[in-house]
Structure 1
Amino acid sequence: MTASSTSTPSGATRPRISNRIGSIAESATLAVDAKAKALKAAGRPVIGFGAGEPDFPTPSYIVEAAVAACSDTANHRYTPAGGLPALKEAIAAKTKRDTGYEVTPAQVLVTNGGKQAVYEAFATLLDPGDEVILPAPYWTTYPESIRLAGGVPVEVLADETQDYLVTLEQLEAARTERTKVLLFCSPSNPTGAVYPREQVEAIGRWAVEHDLWVVTDEIYEHLTYDGVEAVSMPVAVPELADRCVVLNGVAKTYAMTGWRVGWLIGPQDVVKAATNLQSHATSNVANVSQRAAIAALTGDLSAVDEMKAAFDRRRRKIVEMLSAIDGVVCPDPKGAFYAYPSVKGLLGKTYDGVTPTTSAELAELILDKAEVAVVPGEAFGSPGYIRLSYALGDDDLVEGITRLQKLFA
């Protein structure tokens, strides 16, 4: 009998951990960030490009709203599992303001961060064996949430030669009689790719034609550059609205990753079912965080514009510096705050006595020799790449990429 199993009265063994949970991989991005922080705490001058969170503080007016909420005894009690009515109203108003999508508060579920919204969307829509078309490179949480809900992720890879944008032909080739959902994310984590309006419309019409659901993640909607527009699919294709779930949150736009407020927007029956699930899983999101989110969504976007200007500056710098490394191909990201270069040209070569053959091995080499933390493409379903978040200080960004230039010179 192993440490991971236990015996039954009949003498047979059974796993201590369920197969469902035991098969889940930890978040690669959080793991890289934790390792970088641990090394820094141990005195090593590690520069981390792993975490997908803004390096700015939450705007002061949002923090002040939270401080005031702490003193209000109404926030010391249970509130509706699906979210404070005032926040649901603010989310509906913000959605119409920012994307043109008009929804009612009854179509909104407030969740404990975006990850809970992702899981609850799939848990509500999928039965065991249902397939979800998952464009890759993808955010690490998507396939795990699909599997947790009993679904089967069907990966469709778009590489740098197509700007990381899947084509309609690729989607159709992946569709089977078991296909129920398409996952769509624009602007994209990890690539920063943004789908143009005509492609959003074409994909949305394809989903309608084949009676598919679309789960669309819009959490980076405000972070686009060079005049590029983030188009909301149910706005571009209104006839899709009754089979579309929109995911969003305050984490990226308002530098509120630690506040844990996300949401799910969809048809009322889907939202009601997901709310029932949440009522048993976690109940309401922390009321103080919800009050802070109300302040964020009802305030102006000046703080967001300041962050976006800094991200844009860093975006141009990191692409310029990465592209100067022989063997690295770095497409210009049009959204979010990530660069996703191909590093295939670096593999199989020897650097400081080490010959990496995979991007995972290359990431280990970079951390060990250059003391720079990056996330390998294996975490995103596309080996041969690395993801670097440029949501860090300008000086650290330049120093970190300079170290890579020296390592691979």
Structure 2
Amino acid sequence: MEHLLNKQVIDIEISGIRKFFNMVSDIDDLISFTIGQPDFPTPEHVKLAGIRSIEEDFTSYTHNAGYFELRKAASEFVLKKYGLTYRPEDEIIVTVGASEAIDIALRTILTEDDEVILPGPIYPGYEPIIRICGGIPVHIDTRDSQFKLTAEKIKPYITDKTKCIILPYPSNPTGVSLSEQEIKEIASLLKNKDIFIIADEIYSELVYDNPHYSLASELREQTIVINGLSKSHSMTGWRVGFLFADQSLCKHFLKVHQYNVSCISSISQKAAFEALTTGIDDAKLMREEYFKRREYVSSRLSEMCLNYVKPDGAFYFFVKIPENFSTSSFDFALDLANKAKVAVVPGSAFSKYGEGYFRLSYACSTEVLQKGLDRLETYLNSI
């Protein structure tokens, strides 16, 4: 019966990140720098809020968009943090992680043969959805622009079929972000054009050198902001995301969301409310620790004479594989895992423009980082 399935689904593949992680996870004594999973526990007060919601029988369906108090808290959070204004009544949807927010946004705006511009390298979670929707992903090589999708880069790729541009900053896998000036230049290019922008800002609370600046500050009506609590509050398993958009768009996203999941877990919503109110600055301590780790990893990679663009957000380094290793990034990563017992993600998992690189996540303790980087250094010296 497989031949009767949607061809677009048959043709897509499982994420290269997960595929590689699953392949090497059984290696004994493996140090893994693969999955983007914060190593901090969910804050205690947030966990207790989830427990209380069960004890108080807050276990029924909520409003499709999320219960109102949570949407109000989300509205106040982005206003305080980023100066963004969204009405809790009709411009915010609470989603099953940022992933569902991306899914419902793309499924609502895309039709057959619409083009979607993306930076390359890029997190692999966008292209499959675009293809399932019948859209055409258009990757732009950002390797010569510090991995930044700038206005100058975007302009030559805009056609009469361009429906959407995805700006995932701070970036997974590179950790780089866009400055306020770079955002304003993109806004100037796209203003008054019939083009949506999906601003995936899931790492917005994990920035180190400059404050996060959202394109929605410049092009509110065209911009769909994606965010969530997985990275900022170490709540990956709670699956809480947010979609922020103008009411004229949000009412249509809500239809797709409603028929997809009805609403997200009521228990997770109560925990999310606690995170956005009492825990509004919970990311601060994590961010400070990630900053220290970033500095440590940066110094170690430089000592190894490895080339990279220093990240200013998230918790990843995207590192150039030494030229004396002539095979693919996948083979490099597999050899490293087998011989040195260190797992990184091959750059090919992040589009063809990631080939020749590997992603290293520093969302683990300094002790683990030191041990793993010692192994990486020994391995590199051996080749």
Q: What TM-score bracket applies, with the shorter chain setting the length?
A: over 0.9
Residue 190 of structure 1 aligns with an amino acid whose one-letter code is: P
Q: Which residue does 1:249 correspond to in 2? A: 228
Displacement of 1:38 in angstroms is 3.4
CA deviation string 1:60-111 (max 9, x = no partner): 01001001000122x2222222211111111111110110011101101111
Q: Which residue does 1:231 correspond to in 2? A: 213
Question: Equivalent of 2:147, from 151, 164, 167?
Answer: 164
Residue 145 of structure 2 aligns with an amino acid whose one-letter code is: Q
User: What secondary structure is seen at the aligned counterpart in 1 of 2:319?
Assistant: coil
> Number of matched residues?
378
User: What secondary structure is seen at the aligned counterpart in 1 of 2:323?
Assistant: helix
Q: Which residue does 2:30 correspond to in 1? A: 46
In the alignment, does 2:40 pair up with 1:61?
no
Residue 171 of structure 1 aligns with an amino acid whose one-letter code is: I
Q: Which residue does 1:354 correspond to in 2? A: none
Judge conservation of contact 1:363–1:375 (CA < 8 Å) in 2: yes
Matches within 5 A, 1:188-203: 188-203=171-186
Q: What is the root-mean-square deviation in Å for CA atoms of aligned residues?
A: 1.5
User: What secondary structure is seen at the aligned counterpart in 1 of 2:137?
Assistant: strand
CA deviation string 1:143-202 (max 9, x = no partner): 11211222111000111x421112322211111110011100221111011111111001
Q: Which residue does 2:60 correspond to in 1? A: 77
Judge conservation of contact 1:119–1:149 (CA < 8 Å) in 2: no
In the alignment, does 2:378 pair up with 1:406?
yes
* Identity within the alignment, %: 31
Structure 2 stretches of 5 or more lacking a match?
A: none
In the alignment, does 2:2 pair up with 1:32?
no
Q: Which residue does 1:145 correspond to in 2? A: 129
Matches within 5 A, 1:330-409: 330-348=308-326, 357-381=327-351, 382-409=354-381
User: What secondary structure is seen at the aligned counterpart in 1 of 2:320?
Assistant: coil
Specify whether residues 302 and 108 from structure 1 end up closer, same or farther in structure 2 by C-alpha distance, changes over 3 A only. Answer: closer
User: What secondary structure is seen at the aligned counterpart in 2 of 1:253?
Assistant: coil
Residue 374 of structure 1 aligns with an amino acid whose one-letter code is: V
Aligned partners of 1:81, 1:346: CA distance in 2, in Å?
A: 54
Q: Which residue does 2:300 correspond to in 1? A: 321
Aligned partners of 1:346, 1:82: CA distance in 2, in Å?
A: 53
User: What secondary structure is seen at the aligned counterpart in 2 of 1:363?
Assistant: helix
Judge conservation of contact 1:347–1:359 (CA < 8 Å) in 2: no
Displacement of 1:344 in angstroms is 4.8
Judge conservation of contact 1:207–1:214 (CA < 8 Å) in 2: no
Displacement of 1:36 in angstroms is 4.5
User: What secondary structure is seen at the aligned counterpart in 2 of 1:263?
Assistant: strand
Judge conservation of contact 2:86–2:246 (CA < 8 Å) in 1: no
In the alignment, does 2:106 pair up with 1:122?
yes
Q: Which residue does 1:22 correspond to in 2? A: 10
Structure showing greater Rg: 1
Aligned partners of 1:175, 1:93: CA distance in 2, in Å?
A: 35
CA deviation string 1:251-303 (max 9, x = no partner): 00000001000011112132121211122111110000010000000124453
What TM-score does the superposition give when structure 2 sets the normalisation length?
Answer: 0.95
Residue 13 of structure 2 aligns with an amino acid whose one-letter code is: A
Residue 121 of structure 2 aligns with an amino acid whose one-letter code is: P
Aligned partners of 2:253, 2:193: CA distance in 1, in Å?
A: 24
What TM-score does the superposition give when structure 1 sets the normalisation length?
Answer: 0.89
Displacement of 1:17 in angstroms is 3.6
Structure 1 stretches of 5 or more lacking a match?
A: 1-5, 7-13, 349-356
Residue 266 of structure 2 aligns with an amino acid whose one-letter code is: N
- Stretch of structure 1 that moved more, 113-122 or 142-151: 142-151
Aligned partners of 1:140, 1:407: CA distance in 2, in Å?
A: 28
Judge conservation of contact 2:53–2:59 (CA < 8 Å) in 1: no
Judge conservation of contact 2:229–2:236 (CA < 8 Å) in 1: yes
User: What secondary structure is seen at the aligned counterpart in 2 of 1:245?
Assistant: strand
Residue 80 of structure 1 aligns with an amino acid whose one-letter code is: H
